[in-house]
Amino acid sequence: MKSFTPLLFITLFTSQSVFAAPAPIVSSTLETASREDHSFGIGGIISVAERPFVGVNKQSTSLPYLSYKYKGFYIEGLDVGLNVLNQNRFTLGLLATPRYYEVEAGFAKNGELEGIDKTNPTYFAGISTQYNMDIATLTLQVLADTDESSGTETVLSISKSFKPASSFSFSPSIGLTHQDAALVDHFYGVQSHEAKVDRPVYQGKASLNYHVSLNASFYITRYLELLGQIKYEKLGEGITDSPIVDKDTIGSATLGAVIRF
Task: Single out the residue of 156, 141, 149 nearest to residue 123, CA to CA.
Answer: 149
Which helix H or strand E contains 186, and what residues bound it? helix 181-188
Q: How confident is the model at residue 16 (pLDDT cuts 50, 70, 90)?
A: very low
What's the mean pLDDT in 254-261? Answer: 91
List strand residue ranges (DSSP E) for 52-151, in order. Answer: 58-70, 73-77, 79-87, 90-99, 122-132, 137-145
- Give CA–CA dist 83/194, Å, rounded: 42
Q: What pLDDT is attached to residue 114?
A: 95
Contact 243, 199 (CB under 8 A): yes
Give the rounded percent of residues in the chain with a pLDDT score beyond 70. 86
Alpha-carbon span 210 to 139, nearest angstrom: 14
Could you name the CATH architecture of 4-260?
Answer: Beta Barrel (2.40)
pLDDT band at 30 (very low <50, low <70, confident <90, very high): very low
Amino acid at the residue 15: S
Structure confidence at residue 170 as a pLDDT band (50, 70, 90):
very high
Q: What is the DSSP letter of 118?
A: P
- Give the domain ranges of the chain: 4-260
User: What pLDDT was estimated at residue 9?
Assistant: 39
In this structure, of 35-39, 84-88, 141-145, 177-181, the range with the lowest mean pLDDT score is 35-39
Indicate the range of 16-30, 52-66, 186-200, 217-231 predicted with least confidence: 16-30
* pTM for the full predicted model: 0.85
pLDDT by residue (tens digit) across 33-61?
344 567 899 999 888 899 999 999 888 88
Express as a percent the part of the chain with pLDDT over 90: 68
Output the average pLDDT for the chain: 86
The more confidently predicted of residues 143 and 22 is: 143
Q: How far apart are CA 235 and CA 210, in angstroms?
A: 7
Residue 23 has pLDDT above 70, yes or no: no
185: pLDDT strictly greater than 60: yes
Is the model's pLDDT at 177 over the cut of 50? yes
Partners of 127 in beta bridges: 94, 142
Per DSSP, the three-state class of 180 is coil
The answer, yes or no, to whether residue 14 has pLDDT greater than 50, is no
pLDDT digits (tens, 9 = 90+) for 54-112: 999 888 888 888 889 998 899 988 889 999 998 889 999 999 998 888 899 999 989 99
